[in-house]
Amino acid sequence: MSEAEPTFWGLNPGGWVALAMLVVFAILIWKRVPAAIGRSLDSKIALIRDQLAEAESLRKEAEALKAEYEAKSASADKDREALLERARHEAEEIVAKAKTDAETLIERRTRMAEDKIAAEERSAVEQLRAAAADAAAKAAARLIAERHDAGTDAKLVDQAIKEIADR
Q: CA separation (Å) from 45 to 50, 52, 59, 113, 149?
A: 9, 10, 20, 98, 151
Computed over every residue of the chain, the mean pLDDT equals 87
Q: At what angle do helices 13-30 and 33-147 cross, to 10 degrees?
A: 60
> What is the reported pLDDT for 2?
57
Q: At 13, is the secondary structure helix, strand, or coil?
A: helix
Alpha helices (H) in the chain, listed in sequence order:
13-30, 33-147, 150-166
Using left for φ > 0, alpha for ψ between -120 and 50, and beta otherwise, residue 10 falls in left
Name, in order, each residue with C-beta under 8 angstroms of 19's C-beta and a sequence gap of 6 or more: 11
Give pLDDT tens digits for 91-148. 999 999 999 999 999 999 999 999 999 999 999 888 888 888 888 888 877 777 777 6
Per-range mean pLDDT, top range of 15-19, 61-65, 75-79: 61-65
pLDDT of residue 97: 93
Using the predicted structure, report yes or no on whether residue 86 has a pLDDT greater than 90: yes
Determine the Cα–Cα distance for residues 78 and 36; give it in Å rounded to an integer: 62
